[in-house]
Amino acid sequence: MVGGTCLQYTDGIVKSHLHTRQSAGLFDVSHMGQLKITGNDRNEFIEHLTVVDTKKLTEYTGCYSLIPNAKGGIVDDTIITNAGDFLYVVVNAGCYIRDMEHIRKVESAFKAKNKDVTVSDWSGRSLLALQGPLAETVLQRFVSGGKLNKLKFFQGGFFTIRGASCYVQRSGYTGEDGFEVSVPTEIVVDFAKDLLAAPEVLPVGLGARDSLRLEAGLSLYGHELDEETTPKQANLVWTISKRRQEEGGFIGAEVILAEIPKPINELPKRRVGLFVEGAPAREGATVHNMQEEQIGTVTSGTMSPVLKKAIAMAYVKPPSHALGTEVLVSVRGTMRKAVVTKLPFVPTSYKTE
């Protein structure tokens, strides 16, 4: 299992997907980049590199954030955690090389100003995600040093697993309750075997991970997010706190903050959810108004295993972003009716209280 490249297992994507929604699914996401940022000026650095608000990151608390570029586009999305004496940052595998080139330039500029910051790989680590309503029950059997039920969404801490110090955080990218666990690579295979021996757990590949995040309305870099798309266009302004909007200071702030107060109808595009009649619309399918004029493009689409209907995310030109707007989507040469709908498609189950 370990390696993170399996698309699906023998049970198939639909069974893996539904099992995660009903019980617990184990994902190997070790292909993700795990970084440590240390130094006395690490908070100032991360607030320039990303839109994160470190004043809200109390110890062992994380959040979803964005790495913007100077044009206001998105270099990558990321999870940033205050891990005590360092910042723990997870970046996408496909963006790792480009991310590190960008991060190193910013780091070098900071050090040239005599700032104390160092970015390094959190080497020798693997990353597993256990997702689903029974994830806490299963994981607690193998964890010592604390009670997982005390953790809320995006809270974590260091726990002992198989005698090793592991960072456990209540988070994930499926819309379900669950945990992501950073473990020393030397124990990851045995730990994965422990979890898979539990009757509640099935292994889940990247195919079901994609359908799960799509039902949850979660963006995927390279699909909904790229270097030409701004946070407001991606419907992600909520990642930028009131303080950061007032103070700025992050790369691309001039462009991003100038766009935030503008009416949505003035945007060139806006991310939306779509219910599509019949067969699912895949990435690249064109979206049209009822006069068949192209107004957008599908970025992700599938047949929802839970809803048993075709769902998609797309960028459309306002005012066609409005909920309830009827549009047409070209699916394999056939125009199919679709309607703009609220995200997420399936209610999320994060433990926030």
The CATH number linked to 189 is 3.30.1360.120
Are residues 202 and 78 located together in one domain of the fold? yes
- How far apart are alpha carbons 22 and 12 in whole angstroms? 16
| pLDDT tens digit at each of 353 positions of the chain | 444 455 556 678 999 999 999 999 999 999 999 999 999 999 999 999 999 999 999 999 999 999 999 999 999 999 999 999 999 999 999 999 999 999 999 999 999 999 999 999 999 999 999 999 999 999 999 999 999 999 999 999 999 999 999 999 999 999 999 999 999 999 999 999 999 999 999 999 989 999 999 999 999 999 999 999 999 999 999 999 999 999 999 999 999 999 999 999 999 999 999 999 999 999 999 999 999 999 999 999 999 999 999 999 999 999 999 999 999 999 999 999 999 999 999 999 999 98
Quote the pLDDT of residue 9. 65
Q: Does residue 4 sit within a domain?
A: no
- What is the pLDDT at residue 12? 87
pLDDT number for residue 85: 97
CA distances from 309 to 205, 305, 345 (A): 22, 8, 10
How would DSSP label each residue in 142-182? T-BSS-GGG--TTBEEEEEETTEEEEEES--SSSSSEEEEE
| Distance between CA atoms of residues 272 and 293, nearest Å | 18
Taken in order 95, 97, 100, 104, is the CA torsion positive or negative? negative
Is 228 a domain residue?
no
Report the number of distinct structural domains present in the chain.
2
**Does residue 274 fall inside a structural domain?**
yes
- In which domain, by residue range, is 177 found? 13-214
C-alpha span between 262 and 173 (Å, rounded): 30
CA distances from 191 to 83, 143, 185 (A): 22, 11, 10
Q: Which amino acid is at 1?
A: M
Give the count of beta carbons closer than 10 Å to the beta carbon of residue 163.
Answer: 8
Residues 44, 146, single domain; the answer is: yes
pLDDT of residue 6: 58
pLDDT at 3: 42
What per-residue confidence (pLDDT) applies to 45? 98
Task: Indicate if 175 and 297 belong to the same structural domain.
Answer: no
Q: Are residues 180 and 294 in the same domain?
A: no
**What's residue 1's pLDDT?**
44
pLDDT at 4: 46
- pTM, two decimal places: 0.95
Q: Answer whether residue 347 is part of any domain.
A: no
| Pair (197, 269) in one structural domain | no
Note whether 128 and 166 are within 8 A (CB). Answer: no
CA dihedral 17, 20, 26, 29 (to 10 degrees): 60
State whether 115 and 194 are in the same domain.
Answer: yes
Torsion angle of alpha carbons 66, 67, 69, 73, nearest 10°?
-30
Say yes or no: 198 and 302 in one domain. no
Residue 7: inside a domain: no
Within this chain, do residues 190 and 306 fall inside the same structural domain, yes or no? no
Last residue of a domain, one of 214, 242, 274: 214
Predicted pLDDT of residue 10: 62
